[in-house]
Amino acid sequence: MAATAVATAPSVVPCKYKTGRVLGEGTYATVREAVHIESGKRYAVKVISKKLMQGKENMIRNEITVLGQISVGHANILTLTDYFETFNN
**Which segments are annotated as binding site?**
46
Task: Name the β-bridge partners of 24.
Answer: 31
Who contacts 27 (Cβ-Cβ below 8 Å, separation ≥6)? 52
**Which segments are annotated as binding site for ATP?**
46
- Cβ–Cβ under 8 Å, residues 31 and 24: yes
